Amino acid sequence: MKVKLLHCGDFHLDAPFISLSDAGGKPEQRRRELKQALLKTVELAREEKADMLLICGDLYEHGYIRKSTVNFIFEQFEKISETPVLIIPGNHDPAVAGSVYCNAGWPPNVHILAGGNGFFEHKPSGTVVYGERPDGDRIDQSRINILMHHGTLDMPFNEGAYGPVSSDELDEAGYDYCALGHFHSRIEGAGKKGRIYNAGSPEALGFDEEGDHGVFIASVEKQNEIESTVSSGFIKLGLRHFINLDIRADSCNTDEQAAVRAQEAMEEAGSCGDLYKITLQGRIPCGIRLDTACIADLLRDRAFYLKIIDHTVPDYDFERIAGDPGLRGLFVRKMLERAAGAEDEAARRLVMKALYYGMEAIDEGRVCI
């Protein structure tokens, strides 16, 4: 017995992209690109002749989904009318009263595995797909058994964890393939048996989601009631990357100098179609204050979206100043003592920030915040 799957999830169609709210029409463009990710996924399912398309939750954003987007979803799934499309709700698209999942209109090949309809049988391949975890004695080991689950895997479980599950738990249940969703980073062959997968999101949605994004094509073959094998391949679909860069701006006297350093790092890390968050760090000459808006304007044609954060500090020699008589030396000594006695790193940074502002006030008679 053998089955071929296209495994994906976390499209988050019509996501608001609040983090890009200061970027003109970029949020709407990113929403269009999420729809293109679904279109490419459906086309891939057809090209690969997948037996089933598994979507493991968060297909759309419940509070933002538009009727036109719902129609777009239906239209895409109708293109592969001979391929079963199996969907489980997630925490962003719950199957609650009034949700898209509870309304009519889904194409006949789409099956929502929730609310009393927790499994799907694919007779041609001898496969049973579960959208809800059954008791172990309900699994027929003579079949290919697949679990779809939207939740947290192998992490410290607290009250905020959504759908927590452990690799050991899934291994013991006897599934031949576990298709997960929820987290947007990729998991490939987790668990002692190497049967746990999470494709992540087809498109990155934030700066905590670096790297390539896409879907899995997986073939599951069962030799007997005990032995089965999984072969998988990751297919990159993501159009853009979110990239975090720390840039050393030491000794930069002008915004233009800082922009050149940032541009060099951007060209090495990605393309002009990517999204960048750049943190300027290091020591710059005293009295110099970099203008992040100006630097961003100088680089505006080098990125789809750019955010610049200034964490540079004035290049003071505090050890030397602490030995000076007078107000400057006394102030530095007291502040360094408070920083050394800070209860944690966050408190220490706050004291050091106050120290820099204090030095600016003493030396220049003003503070720019």
Residue 106 resides in a domain: yes
236, 263, 290 - which closes a domain: 236
Residue 285, both tokens: 């000459």
Contact 167, 107 (CB under 8 A): no
CA distance 112 to 109: 10
In a domain, 187, yes or no: yes
| Residue 215 sits in the same domain as residue 339 | no
Q: Check residue 210 and report its DSSP letter.
A: -
Max alpha carbon distance in the chain (Å)? 87
Catalogue the long-range contacts made by 197-201 (C-beta closer than 8 Å, 24 or more residues apart).
197/7, 197/230, 197/232, 198/9, 198/56, 198/153, 199/7, 199/8, 199/9, 199/56, 199/234, 200/10, 201/9, 201/10, 201/11, 201/12
Give the residue from 132, 128, 106 showing the smallest Cα distance to 220.
Answer: 128
pLDDT in tens, the chain (369 residues): 999 999 999 999 999 988 787 777 899 999 999 999 999 999 999 999 999 999 999 999 999 999 999 999 999 999 999 999 999 999 999 999 889 998 878 999 999 998 778 899 999 999 999 998 876 567 889 999 999 999 989 876 666 678 889 999 999 989 999 999 999 999 999 999 999 999 999 999 999 999 999 999 999 999 888 888 999 999 999 999 999 999 999 989 999 999 999 999 999 999 999 999 999 999 888 878 899 999 999 999 999 999 999 999 888 888 899 999 989 999 999 999 999 999 999 999 899 889 988 888 887 766 555
Phi, psi of 232 (to 5 degrees): -135, 155
Query: In DSSP terms, which residues pair with 170 in a beta bridge?
Result: none
Looking at the structure of the chain, the number of domains it has is: 2
Q: What is the per-residue DSSP string for 104-164?
A: S---TTEEE--TT--EEEEGGGTEEEESSPPPGGG--TTSEEEEEEES-BSS---TT-SS-
C-alpha 157/C-alpha 325 separation (Å) is 55
* Last-in-domain residue among 206, 236, 266: 236
Question: pLDDT tens digits, residue range 76-123?
Answer: 999 999 999 999 999 999 999 889 998 878 999 999 998 778 899 999
Within this chain, do residues 121 and 189 fall inside the same structural domain, yes or no? Answer: yes
Show the tokens assigned to 4.
């071929």
Whether residue 293 is contained in a domain is answered as yes
Q: Hey, what are 64's tokens?
A: 């933002």
H or E, element range at 345: helix 345-364
**Distance separating alpha carbons of residues 362 and 178, to the nearest angstrom:** 63
The verdict on 231 and 250 lying in the same domain is no
Q: Is 54 in a helix, a strand, or coil?
A: strand
Both 10 and 79 in a single domain?
A: yes
Residue 318 domain flag: yes
Same domain, 77 and 145: yes
Judgement on whether residues 156 and 15 belong to the same structural domain of the protein: yes
Domain of 265 in residue numbering reads as 242-364
Q: Within this chain, do residues 317 and 198 fall inside the same structural domain, yes or no?
A: no
Output Rg (C-alpha) for the chain, integer angstroms: 27
- On whether both 206 and 246 belong to a single domain, the answer is no
End-to-end CA distance of the chain: 67
Pick the last residue of a domain from 184, 203, 236. 236
Q: Phi, psi at residue 38, to the nearest 5°?
A: -65, -45
Name the pTM for this structure.
0.88
Residue 224 per-residue DSSP state: S
Beta bridge partners of 310: 280
The model's pLDDT over 172-187, given as tens digits with 9 standing for 90+, comes to 989 999 999 999 999 9
For residue 157, the tally of other CB atoms under 10 A from its CB is 11
The CA distance from 91 to 65, in Å, is 14
Considering the domain boundaries, does residue 148 fall inside one?
yes
**For 185-221, how does the pLDDT look when each residue is reduced to its tens digit (9 = 90+)?**
999 999 999 999 999 999 999 999 999 999 999 999 9
CATH code, domain with 80: 3.60.21.10
Quickly count: other Cβ atoms within 10 Å of residue 331's Cβ.
17
Listed in sequence order, the residues at least 6 apart from 315 whose beta carbon sits closer than 8 Å to its beta carbon are 250, 251, 283, 284, 285, 286
Whether residue 273 is found in the same domain as residue 204 = no
Residues 231 and 246 in one domain: no
Domain co-membership, 220 together with 261: no
DSSP string, 229-252: EEEEEEEE--S--EEEEEEE-TT-
Q: Residue 120 CA to chain centroid, in angstroms?
A: 29
270 and 221, same domain (yes or no): no
Task: Judge whether 369 lies within some domain.
Answer: no
Residue 145 included in any domain: yes
